[in-house]
Each structure stands twice: as structure tokens, then as C-alpha cells.
Amino acid sequence: MDVAARHRRVVVPWPSEEATPMDGEPESELVRQFRSLAGALEDSNEFHISARGCPLRVKYSPGSVSSLTLSAPYPARRAAPAHGPHSAYRDPAGTLVAIRPMKIKLRRETDEDRAARSRGVACEAQTGDPLFDDEVYIDSPSDVQTVLRTLASPELRAGVRALLAEGVEHVILDDKDGEISALLLHFTRATHDAHRANRMLDAFVGVALNAPCVITSSEQRPADTERALLIIGGILCGVLGSLGIAAYSLAAGQRCEFDSNPEASVLFSLDGCFTPAALGLMVGYLPGFLLGAAVSRRFRGRSDSHDRARSAHALTLILSVQLAIWLFAALLWLR
């Protein structure tokens, strides 16, 4: 039996059709399936399931952007291989020691990811498993050796692929809470599927049981200066954006009081309410775009460098336009 077939083995009873009535809402249907598997109450949004000795937590968050999260503790101590001697990939050269959390995020690979990798912007670990490497993008601050040893199990990789095929947004191995987690945001399915929860549970258990045990290293991950600068830039944009609107209105005074000042709405008069904003947008856009492009080129060599480059470009452009607006407001209104 091949890995894929072995991975799809049923591990818990499938819910009956009566337990998962079809009401036209895939989200409600899937949640009911998980509640049935857990034996949870109908209104429960967080419950636990034990499958093949693996304790899992299911958390459903309803709302305008609903989500369902599967999670399990990352293995904290050495255990026997999950599927017998053929799975003795664990620690082939001794116990794996790594900086934790490893934060290995696994999601569907996109054309943008492939383009960034081909340009040398993004640096992604490759497992040597063609199907996995073609379908799954590996994003992690951990070193390549740690990532590859964590993903060494064929059963783990098959489980990740199966979860992504079920619509899961991403799977994270050793997240900030020291857990293995899988996030589902898209519930829609074209047809009624009474066994989707069971397949997701089986796939997730395959991942959890085949994740190698890791001892936390005493070393610290190097400071991420790039990320710090992006956070500072984002905060600065937010502060200028939120406070800037109030300050702009205060500085404009009667220029933006359209009821008492008929000339206030004239865009290109020197005292027009929107004149600094319009001129700032026109004049600040091009240098901001060019400077942002130059700044973004400095982001290279990480698995998420293309995402960081895009953020840096956007932040630089926004800051350039904001500063240009304030410059024109000062030149036109403080004469």
C-alpha cells in the first residue's frame, strides 16, 4: 500500500448522515461533523478529540470571517515511531536540537512564490519530494537543516498535502504556542460531503504523530532587523494616517467648512480644502514608488522575502504621499 493510501486510513467512525444533515451551509455542516466526532454539545465551539492516542483541540470561531482551527501539542519528548520500523526517520543523527518555536508554516505554493524563488528573492527549503515541493510553500525563520529534518516523514508530508487539499489555509509546525495547528477559513464545497471532517482529522493526526521530537536549543534566533523596521514603518503609517486626518482638518480651519465658506470646495485654489491632498498625491506618488522599489530590492534571502519586499514598497509609497501632503499644506496654508 502506498503512502497516500495508507494515510487515508479511517481512524475514527465516520459520522452518519443523520449526524450531519445537509442544510445548504457547508460551514455549519462541517462544524456539526466535528462535534459529532468529539461527542460535543450542539452549541460547543471548542472541544477535544483523541485519535490514535493523539489529543487534538478543535476551535470554531464564527463571525463575519469564520475560522476553524485544529491544534495539538508539538511533541515534547522522544517517542516511538508512529508507524513501525519504516518510520524510524526520527533523529537519524541523534536528537534534533533547534531554536523554538520553529514556526514552520506550510501553505499552498503560488505563482508569485515560484517567481520570487526563480529571481533569487525568496530562499525556500526543498525536501526532494516532487509532489510536496510543487504544491507546498515552506515559510520559516528556522535554518534549512532544521526544516528538512522536521519534514523528513513521508506521512507528515502526505498529511499536510491532504489538509491543503481540504481547503486549509496553512499548517504550522511548532507555532508561537508550541503547537501544531491547521487553520481553515474557506468552508464552501460544491456538493454535500459527509466525511470531510473525518478526512481532515485523519490527515492532521498523520502530521501530529509524525512530527519529530525537538529539544529546545539554548541559542537565540538572531535579531530580525528587517521585520522590526517593517513594524516601525507600519506603526508610523498608522499614526500619521489616524492623527493626520484630525490635524489636517484643524490646520485647514474654515477652508473645509463648506457650509460657511462657499469657496472651500474649490480643489485647485490655494486655499482649497483638498488642494494639499491632491498635490501631495500627485507629487509624492512617483518618488515614493521609485524609492519603494529601491528599498524592496534589499529584501532577499528569506523564505518570506517577497512578502516583506511588497510590504516595504507599500509602506515607503504611503509615507512619501503622506509627507508630500503635509509639505504642501505647510507651503500653501502657512504663508
Residue at grid coordinates 486626518: 245
How does DSSP assign 230-265, residue by residue? HHHHHHHHHHHHHHHHHHHHHHHGGGG-TTT-GGGG
Do the Cβ atoms of 273 and 264 come closer than 8 Å? yes
Q: Within 13 A of 298's CA, how many CA atoms are on the CB side?
A: 12
Q: pTM for the full model?
A: 0.80
Residue 253 confidence (pLDDT): 76
On the question of pLDDT at 58 being above 90, the answer is yes
Q: What angle do CA 142, 146, 147 make, to 5 degrees?
A: 75
What's the rounded mean pLDDT across residues 49-56? 90
pLDDT for 104 equals 97
d(CA 233, CA 299): 15
What whole-number distance in Å separates Cα of residue 113 and Cα of residue 32?
35
- Whether 302 shows a pLDDT value over 90: the answer reads yes
Contacts of 114 (CB under 8 A, 6+ apart): none
Asked whether the predicted pLDDT for residue 27 surpasses 90, the reply is no
DSSP 195-210: THHHHHHHHHHHHHHT
Mean pLDDT for the chain overall:
84
| C-alpha span between 79 and 213 (Å, rounded) | 7
First and final CA of the chain: distance in angstroms? 82
List C-alpha distances in Å: 168 to 27, 35, 306.
13, 18, 22
Per-residue pLDDT, 264: 61
Q: Is the pLDDT of residue 309 over 80?
A: yes
Which residues, in sequence order, are bridge partners of residue 60? 68
Output the nine-digit C-alpha cell for 53: 492516542
Over residues 142-185, the pLDDT tens digits come to 999 999 999 999 999 999 999 999 999 999 999 999 999 999 99
Residues 6+ apart with CB under 8 A from 327: 280
* CB-count exposure of residue 124 (10 Å: 0-12, 13-18, 19+): buried
- pLDDT band for position 86 (cuts 50, 70, 90): very low
pLDDT given for residue 80 in this prediction: 43
- Residues 191 and 22: their CA atoms lie apart, in Å, by 10
In whole angstroms, give the CA distance from residue 228 to residue 285: 25
* Euclidean distance between CA atoms 78 and 81, whole angstroms: 9
State the alpha helices, DSSP H only, in 93-195.
Answer: 111-118, 130-135, 144-150, 154-165
Contacts of 249 (CB under 8 A, 6+ apart): 256
